[in-house]
Structure 1
């Protein structure tokens, strides 16, 4: 049985925008769909779905396409992505304990 998912309007618009950014960057570089698809390691059909914002395309593939094309993601050039990850991790560490999920005790008595 196929699972039908629903997505918010904002999520759909974000996928559509990123797809259009990928298509625009590809065309600005004068790359064919086949050329970009080969660089990413996907089929041309998957790339076409990506460019129209199809929500079934794996996010990793979309991000890889954006990186290959030089599309900036999440942050500007000044702070590095690793710094942003570290900052988010630091903030998560400072969150009250009740927000974090509890870890289960390991039963190691055999």
Structure 2
């Protein structure tokens, strides 16, 4: 039997907000659900799920819808976003490639 995934209240709220922003952007641009779904290459059912804040659809699909209807997800300026992405990539290169659990109790009593 497959266990149903649960999400925190905060996550559910964020999904609902993003879905509502996408729906609002679609309506403000005068796009029908069919128009937006076709432009994004998804079904109307998937679009409706996203607009209702369902956690199932792929994040790339959700981000693409947001971009199409003009919902800013991070930084509206493309150059600033590129700089931020580059800085994060540089920081990640300095981090360990993998994280392992400690094998024993860590003694941090100095």
Which of the five TM-score ranges fits, normalised by the shorter chain?
0.7 to 0.9
Q: Which residue matches 2:56? A: 56
The whole-number CA distance in structure 2 between the counterparts of 1:69 and 1:25 is 5
Pairs aligned (count): 99
TM-score (norm 2): 0.80
Aligned counterparts, 1:21-100, within 5 A: 21-77=21-77, 79-95=79-95, 97=96, 100=97
User: Any unmatched runs of 5+ in structure 2?
Assistant: 100-110
Q: State the distance in 1 between where 2:70 and 2:26 align.
A: 10
> How many angstroms apart in 1 are the aligned matches of 2:57 and 2:74?
19
RMSD: 1.7
Q: After TM superposition, what 4+ stretches of structure 1 lie above 4 angstroms from structure 2?
A: none
Q: Which moved more, 1:13-22 or 1:72-81?
A: 72-81
Please list the CA deviations of residues 64-108 of structure 1 after superposition, one character each: whole Å capped at 9, or x if unmatched: 10111111111242743221111111222334x4xx417xxxxxx
